With several copies, the nearest count.
Chain A
Amino acid sequence: MSELRYRDALKLSLQEEMKRDENVILMGEDIGVFGGAFKVTSGLLEQFGERRVRDTPISENSIVGMGVGAAMVGLRPVVELMTVNFALLAFDQLVNHAAHIHYMFGGQARVPLVVRMPQGAGHQLGPTHSHSLEAMFLHVPGLLVAVPSTPADARGLLKAAIRDENPVIFIEHESLYGVRGEVDEADDRPLAFGQARVAREGGDVTIVGVSRMALTAERAAERLASEHGIEAEVIDPRTLRPLDLDTILESVAKTNRCVVVEEGWPHGGVGANLAALVSEQAFDDLDAPVVRVSGADVPMPYSKPLEEIAFPHEPDVVQAVLSVTQAGSAQ
């Protein structure tokens, strides 16, 4: 076991997979000479050479499209989009092409492509640079969507993503790159998609935290325990497609209350989707409606004090939990 940063766990994962399979290549803006905007790929150009670590021009839609084409004939391209915000330029290749080619061509073609990108607010990057778009991606059949929140998950899920035969949207988080966590370097098995992680056990309420919000949820749970005597079960779904709904439902069957925490916009967000699924499938288990804690329904403002209140923090989660536990006890 060693302690690695999220960034380094990702790099380790890329290194391992590139050594294992020479079909794995990296493409992206400033991933080579510059070492990556968030330094995930630094050193890989030197290690693997410029044919396997390719700096691209600023052409998001075509970079992704080239990844699709290369994947169709057997390479395993890992495309880095500098941030999720620029993925909006590549939605055509992601949705109309990557996601649909396998189905559209009757199963003849496969697109084992990984598109990595960090998302999130918190660095005062303003409206065009702070999106969390997992809700848009999970909407699309044909894509798999990973949202790892720990270094170990980042490494394991990235390995699974690279080895998988389907196109994977691999969403990292700008605020997580420096976060440290235990990684068992000796165990280089991929981490299966579709298995949620129960980050904390508890019987009073289920909190589902997506991407970075898994950590926020964990911290909120500690506070709920110490300050309010409430034991929250915290679940990190790890992947949103496939979704390990079973683990969430089992937890809700026990706690009868569910709070979903996400960083993105609320209208049509991940929380809405989970709220709908949980309500549908565990209606009789629920003592209170599923409560959603989300980013504010605004473009992300630059100014620090506005940005701070525009995405969820522990107190928001604590408050949301108190609102459902109170609702529950009132019944």
Chain B
Amino acid sequence: MSDPPAASRPTPALPEPEVAREWLATMTLIRRFEERAGEMYARAKVGGFLHLTIGEEATIVGSARALRETDYLVSTYRSHGDAIARGTPPERVMAELFGKVDGCCKGHGGSMHMFDGERRFMGGYGIVGGNLPIAAGIALACDQRGTDEVTLCTFGDGASNQGTFGETLNLAALWQLPVVFMVINNQFGMGTSLHRHSAVTDLQRKGESLGVPGMRCDGMDVLDTHAVVSQALQRVRDERRPLLVEAVTYRFRGHSMADPEEYRSKEEVAQWRERDPLPAFAALLEREGVLSAEQREQIERDAVAQVDAAVEFAERSPFPQPSSLYEDVYVIDDQVHGHYHSDSDKRSRRLAAAAAVAPDGGERLR
């Protein structure tokens, strides 16, 4: 698995120049965002685990741009890029990383649990493999309602070994659900390389015995990814049965910020970095005459400015009030009474112990 695959098909045609530049801009934004997130982590502005997506931008943008606005996207704990590609303002993502109240999940979720319902980004999920049945359930709802919406579910090569993979692919095939499963084969599940965790390493084939045919795209190439995922989405939309797409890519950084990367060689990383999707795509656009040097610089400047603004926004946003601790555990509703929490009576003490005290959050009705 140490050799980066060459794109197997002829490069698909470019989209409209404006569209192509927007793709590059989004890839650039994600790259700069991730780099900055890493810096903020080093400066302890961001806590928890931070899984960066650097190297996988073509996979993210190529697939996100193949989606309609009405389609759904379901992702993993490595999903800042997905949120941004889907249109979530970077400042909301950064504020979430900072644990601030203006974060897209009010600071409850953090890096691993992004969400933007409005833009049908149906979440980053921290449990490897946990998102597959959820995506199939969303697809079930779409099908049930007779819409032509499709759900795209991304997960890693490592996740393909989780029980939910077999269960969900079988269910989706059996019930003919409009869902595209996209396995992002970045060659590793944490520190375990593909051939050390999966008996079958040709991942596009891993759904065949479950009734889900596969396709593969070059996840380092935004055009190829877009073309293949578009085709998959269209087939699923029309034929109403699931497909599996393998996106072959590589993460340039460690699994998370605390990864000494002893499981792979510097040479291997360098080799893959030669195929860095950002400069590759930019160079292509320049060659094709749809990107001037000036435009390229502008894209860079815009990305940096947006990330600067995101950090500033996140800095300025307040932390959640201690009194909000019990908010959003339940949807409080008039058909439920009694003590939702058995520590209702202790809540005030707990909150009093913290600096700011606020009135009872209302979990106890009557």
Q: Which residues of A contact B (CB under 8 A)?
A: 25, 29-30, 33-35, 37, 51, 54-59, 61-75, 77, 85-86, 89, 92-93, 96-97, 101-110, 123-129, 141-142, 144, 160, 163-166, 190, 192-195, 239, 241-246, 266-267, 273, 277, 281, 294, 296-299, 301-306, 308-310, 315-316, 319
Q: Which residues of B contact A (CB under 8 A)?
A: 47-49, 72, 74, 96, 99-100, 103-113, 115-117, 122-123, 125-130, 132-142, 144, 158-159, 161-164, 167-168, 170-171, 174-175, 189-192, 196-198, 262-263, 319-320, 322, 324-331, 333, 335-343, 345-347, 349-351, 353-354, 365
Contacts A62-B136, A125-B110, A166-B330; A89 near B319 (Cβ below 8 A): no
Contact among A61, A308, A310 with B163 in the assembled complex (CB-CB below 8 Å): A61
Chain B hits for A69, CB < 8 A = 74, 122, 133-141
**Known contacts A281-B345, A304-B47, then 19 further A-B pairs from the complex at CB < 8 Å, ordered by chain A residue:** A29-B190, A34-B262, A58-B129, A62-B168, A74-B141, A75-B140, A92-B127, A92-B130, A108-B115, A127-B113, A128-B113, A142-B330, A160-B335, A166-B336, A190-B335, A242-B337, A243-B338, A303-B99, A303-B319
Q: Across the two chains, which residue of chain B brings its CB closest to A294?
A: B343
Separation of A147 and B118 alpha carbons in the complex (Å): 36
Chain B hits for A65, CB < 8 A = 130, 132-134, 136-137, 164, 168
Contact among A51, A57, A164, A294 with B336 in the assembled complex (CB-CB below 8 Å): A164
Most buried by A among B125, B349, B350: B350
Q: Across the two chains, which residue of chain B brings its CB closest to A33?
A: B263
Contact among B108, B326, B333, B337 with A126 in the assembled complex (CB-CB below 8 Å): B108
A-B contact count (CB 8 A): 340
Q: How far is the CB of A187 from chain B (nearest CB, A)?
A: 15
Q: Is the CB of B162 within 8 A of A58?
A: yes
Chain B hits for A129, CB < 8 A = 48-49, 112, 126
Contact among B123, B262, B263, B322 with A309 in the assembled complex (CB-CB below 8 Å): B322
Q: How far is the CB of B81 from chain A (nearest CB, A)?
A: 18
Separation of A281 and B365 alpha carbons in the complex (Å): 19
Q: Is the CB of A106 within 8 A of B326?
A: no
Chain A hits for B340, CB < 8 A = 194, 241-242
Contacts A302-B108, A302-B110, A319-B353; A55 near B196 (Cβ below 8 A): yes
Of the A-B pairs whose beta carbons lie under 8 Å apart in the complex, a sample of 29, sorted by A's number, is: A34-B263, A35-B262, A37-B190, A55-B192, A55-B196, A59-B168, A72-B137, A73-B72, A85-B126, A89-B163, A93-B133, A106-B106, A108-B115, A124-B47, A126-B48, A127-B108, A127-B113, A128-B130, A141-B341, A195-B337, A281-B345, A296-B350, A302-B113, A303-B103, A304-B99, A309-B325, A309-B353, A309-B354, A316-B350
Contacts A58-B189, A62-B164; A242 near B349 (Cβ below 8 A): no
Chain A hits for B159, CB < 8 A = 58
Contacts A109-B123, A164-B336; A62 near B132 (Cβ below 8 A): yes
Q: Across the two chains, which residue of chain A brings its CB closest to B263?
A: A33
Separation of A103 and B115 alpha carbons in the complex (Å): 11
Chain B hits for A59, CB < 8 A = 161-163, 167-168, 170-171
Separation of A166 and B162 alpha carbons in the complex (Å): 27
Q: How far is the CB of A297 from chain B (nearest CB, A)?
A: 4
Q: Across the two chains, which residue of chain A brings its CB closest to B47?
A: A124
Chain B hits for A190, CB < 8 A = 335
Q: Across the two chains, which residue of chain A brings its CB closest to B116?
A: A108
Separation of A166 and B340 alpha carbons in the complex (Å): 11
Contacts A192-B336, A193-B338, A316-B353; A61 near B164 (Cβ below 8 A): yes
Chain B hits for A281, CB < 8 A = 345
Separation of A65 and B134 alpha carbons in the complex (Å): 5
Q: How far is the CB of A162 from chain B (nearest CB, A)?
A: 11
Separation of A55 and B188 alpha carbons in the complex (Å): 13
Q: How far is the CB of A22 from chain B (nearest CB, A)?
A: 9
Q: How far is the CB of B144 from chain A (nearest CB, A)?
A: 6
Chain A hits for B354, CB < 8 A = 305, 308-309
Separation of A108 and B133 alpha carbons in the complex (Å): 20
Q: Is the CB of A96 within 8 A of B110?
A: no
7 interchain residue pairs of minimum CB distance: A69-B137, A194-B338, A65-B133, A34-B191, A302-B110, A303-B99, A124-B47
